[in-house]
Amino acid sequence: MRSLQEDGNEMMIEPLLSQSGPRNTISDVMVESGDGTADRNPLVEKEKLMSSSSSSLSLPIHNNINKDSGTSRTCPPNNKKGTYSVMRWQYYACCGSIFSMTAFVLSLISTFDCGLGLVKFSSTVGTPSIDRHFGLWWYGHYEMNESFNKVTYEGCRPYHDLLDIDSKWSAARAFNILTLVGGFTWLVVDTLTMFVRGGAKPQSIWMVNLLLLNCFFSGLTLIALDSNMCNNNELVTIDEVEGYEFNGHCELSSGANLVIASTVIWFVASLCKLMAIKSKNSHDEKPPINNMAEPSLLGDGTVADDGHDISSTMTTEAEADSEKDGTHRSSSPNSNKKVTYWRLLSENSNFRWFLLSYLVSVGGEWLSYVASIATIEQIQSSNGSISRTSISILVIIRLLPSSLFAPIGGTLADSYDRRKIMIILELTGALVIWVYVLSYYLESIAALYSATLLQMTVAALYYPCHSAIVPMIVPEEDSLEKAMILVSLIETSMQAVGSSIGGLLTGFVGIQYCFMIDSLTSLVGALLIWKISGEYNPVKANEATVAMDGKAESSTEVEESWYSLPQLAKMTKEGISYLVSQSWGAFALLKFFAALIYGAGDVLNVSFSEQGEGSSDSSSRRLGILFAVVGVGCVLGPIIIEPCTHMDKLSSLERACLISYFLMALGCYGLWQFDEFILICIFSAVRSAGSNIVWVYSSLLLQKLSSASMRGRVFGVDHALSTFSESASALLAGVLQDDAGLSAAQVSLIMAIVAVVTLVMWGVYFSRVSIAERSITTERSNII
């Protein structure tokens, strides 16, 4: 019920029909004046009502809008019970988040704890007894008197590869990995929900099931106590020979206590989240007081009976209109506010799901990449031969499919719904990963190359869809720059995290488990892409524009363009011709020349990691560190340069590309000049910062200047050229080290010379060819 003050008389407006009845027009509203007379509401009263609020057409007094359900409820000012209900589910959700984070930390600590089980050895020669600890992945040290010299202190060390591991021990390790992967997935989703959407939120029921699965997997980790982890293995046998008697059973140690605690806390966290869901649903289902919702006036002169705010209705209609042309423009509370990373993430839920899926997928891809390198080194080490060319071939096989299939992927991106293609390719990638596992057990480098070829073919089809869909999810230019930087940060941060974790897991967990985790990440990535709403088919987006021009194709022609292979080939050729005909087409070569420099980076990282003393495990750890610092450099580069660039000034984007070539030249020079591992890490970060800057801003130039209907094919050609150049650089780096006898430092000097030459070349090009000549003549009618 609403009250209005008009000329000192109070008028009461009540709907004649109930909330569940049909929508009421303004003429069906009874106006009761203060003197008790009642009249039908005239048009002038309608105009007064329509103009009484500039932000909303409804006129509530105590109208509490439930943001989660979108409904409008009339609540008294002092509704303590309703307020308590809201605070209760938020309390439950917050407690569940805290408990789940605690459980994950405990699970992570127990993983690297070398004391899951405790074995007591009693001496047979009168010396002090020994307590030895055994974990899932590590074994512990002895506790003894300093005067006892027969057994030495060993510390916490990983098991050697020849140790016999039975099925129960292997199953316990698998359950431990599932617990960590499930816990990490939960924390990422829960953190984004809490901090991006603002405040603790109740999760869906499938997330509660994930917590229960973590509880189940964590508890099953304890089956290792019944395995040969601390019984009937070589380490126990040695102890018995040295004059100690094994007491015959394995006791709980600190690691086992941590596992038990984390199992209980996982269960408590699931209960808290389940209670949050129940409390939230109970709050949403509470009927409004007096069973009457406030009517809202719509723009057509009708009164909404569902209690929705008219502003949300208008926003929904605007979003629906924007989806018709494929733009999916995100609504902003205040379009005049400065675009920030936080605002972009908080207001665009589709972009959040897109980033999260990319984070998971890229992390798994880097995990399998490090595991592939470790597999080759392990096979060659067992054969007694080491070849840098084998690593170069791996890098080439990872890059070469993009040169062949990326243009086809661009054509698919311009013909089908890009979101659906990404889901299909993610699921396909999850199946392809198992070829890696087969190649590991066959100890076949050729099978490993085949698996890499299949995986990278899928990735080559995936990349153009991934790049072309970003402007459709984030159509505003100011937001697009920050979106592209976030995408690059996700890729490079997961390069740092995924590669470093891959280097650690290959030494601690096992190479085959790294491949299995990558398969799981592909499935999770497909699920997250499925959460993105809307249609992203550029063909449907252009139908209205084509029809207005009088050039609409028949349904048969459109269907043929989707399914005919000759038509797909024709579209691919059109994309290449389109790029060549544009005055800005040379921008597609920015990554091509940059890849000549950073393409050799992976091969050089392997060589740098093997410098110095240490076992193969130490080499894997150094390789993981190098990949990590490369990722850090990629993260810092675009962030540092971003304040100096503006999307409305092409010259600033071009200067960023020139700076990137300078940084790559400086980094390669430092790798040639210094031998210390810490300095190698620093200059590797400088080189990677430059490589990521040119990746981000060359992509922005292409996205800014290319039309929406051709963007997928433009990025397909761009990706094909850059990966071809990168593969040639990687092959050259391997050949120069194996056949020409050059060191990694000397190859770095060659890359520095190439960087200086390309820097001068692009500097001359940007100075000779004016910006106006490259941009004004460009047709941008389809730019979002």
Identical fold between 83-285 and 348-537+573-775: no
Type of residue found at 322? S
Check pLDDT > 70 for residue 402: yes
| Interval 283-321: pLDDT, tens | 655 554 444 444 444 434 444 444 434 333 333 333 444
- pLDDT value of position 505: 73
What is the three-state SS of 195-249?
A: HHCCCCCCCCHHHHHHHHHHHHHHHHHHHHHHCCCCCCCHHHHHHHHCCEEECCC
Q: Which residue has the tokens 């995408």?
A: 487
User: Which of 39 and 617 is assigned the larger pLDDT?
Assistant: 617
Number of C-beta neighbours around residue 404 at 10 A: 13
- pLDDT value of position 459: 87
- pLDDT value of position 305: 44
Q: Is the dihedral angle over the CA atoms 714, 720, 726, 729 positive or is it negative?
A: negative
Q: Which residue has the tokens 């797909």?
A: 568
Cα 477 from Cα 474, distance rounded (Å): 8
> Residues 126-148: what's their mean pLDDT?
59
Strand pairing category for 29-32 and 9-15: antiparallel
Check pLDDT > 80 for residue 543: no
Backbone angles phi, psi at 198, to 5 degrees: 95, 105
- Nearest alpha-carbon partner for 714 in 595, 596, 590: 590
- pLDDT value of position 77: 41
Phi-psi domain of 222 (left: phi exceeds 0; alpha: psi -120 through 50; beta: other): alpha
- pLDDT value of position 617: 52
Check pLDDT > 80 for residue 111: no
Type of residue found at 475? P
The H helix count followed by the E strand count for the chain is: 25, 15
Check pLDDT > 80 for residue 527: yes
> Residues 672-691: what's their mean pLDDT?
87
- pLDDT value of position 753: 92
Query: Per mean pLDDT, which of 143-147, 161-165, 301-305, 730-734 is the most reliable?
Result: 730-734
Q: Is the dihedral angle over the CA atoms 737, 743, 748, 754 positive or is it negative?
A: negative
User: Which of 499 and 294 is assigned the larger pLDDT?
Assistant: 499
Check pLDDT > 60 for residue 9: no
- pLDDT value of position 158: 64
- pLDDT value of position 665: 92
Check pLDDT > 80 for residue 681: yes
User: Which of 138 and 606 is assigned the larger pLDDT?
Assistant: 606
Element (H, E) at 63: strand 63-65
pTM of this structure: 0.51
- Nearest alpha-carbon partner for 485 in 634, 662, 589, 348: 634
pLDDT range class, residue 213, cuts 50, 70, 90: confident
User: Which of 27 and 681 is assigned the larger pLDDT?
Assistant: 681
182 in Cβ contact with 213 (< 8 Å):
yes
What tokens does 234 get?
Answer: 């070589």
Element (H, E) at 740: none
- pLDDT value of position 121: 59
Check pLDDT > 70 for residue 246: no
- pLDDT value of position 662: 92
| Interval 75-100: pLDDT, tens | 444 444 433 334 566 677 777 777 88
Of the listed ranges 138-147, 509-518, 756-765, the least confidently predicted one is: 138-147
Check pLDDT > 60 for residue 349: yes
Domain ranges of the chain: 1-51, 83-285, 348-537+573-775
Kindly report the average pLDDT of the chain as a whole number. 69
Of the listed ranges 116-125, 153-162, 544-553, the least confidently predicted one is: 544-553
Check pLDDT > 80 for residue 20: no
- pLDDT value of position 333: 39
| CATH code of the domain made up of 83-285 | 1.20.140
258 in Cβ contact with 106 (< 8 Å):
yes
Percentage of the chain lying above the pLDDT 70 cut: 60
pLDDT range class, residue 166, cuts 50, 70, 90: confident
User: Which of 390 and 657 is assigned the larger pLDDT?
Assistant: 657
C-alpha distances (whole Å) from 623 to each of 499, 586, 607, 616, 676 are 8, 35, 9, 10, 15
Of the listed ranges 497-506, 568-577, 728-737, the least confidently predicted one is: 497-506
CA dihedral of residues 700, 705, 708, 714 (deg, nearest 10) = -70
pLDDT range class, residue 28, cuts 50, 70, 90: very low
pLDDT range class, residue 118, cuts 50, 70, 90: low
Check pLDDT > 70 for residue 685: yes
Q: 348-537+573-775, what's its fold? A: Growth Hormone; Chain: A; (1.20.1250)
| Interval 634-680: pLDDT, tens | 878 888 888 888 877 888 888 889 999 999 999 999 888 888 888 88
Q: Which residue has the tokens 């590797």?
A: 684
What is the three-state SS of 427-443?
A: HHHHHHHHHHHHHHHHC
Number of C-beta neighbours around residue 340 at 10 A: 11
Percentage of the chain lying above the pLDDT 90 cut: 3
244 in Cβ contact with 150 (< 8 Å):
no
pLDDT range class, residue 107, cuts 50, 70, 90: confident
Chain CA centroid to CA 153, Å? 43
Check pLDDT > 60 for residue 101: yes
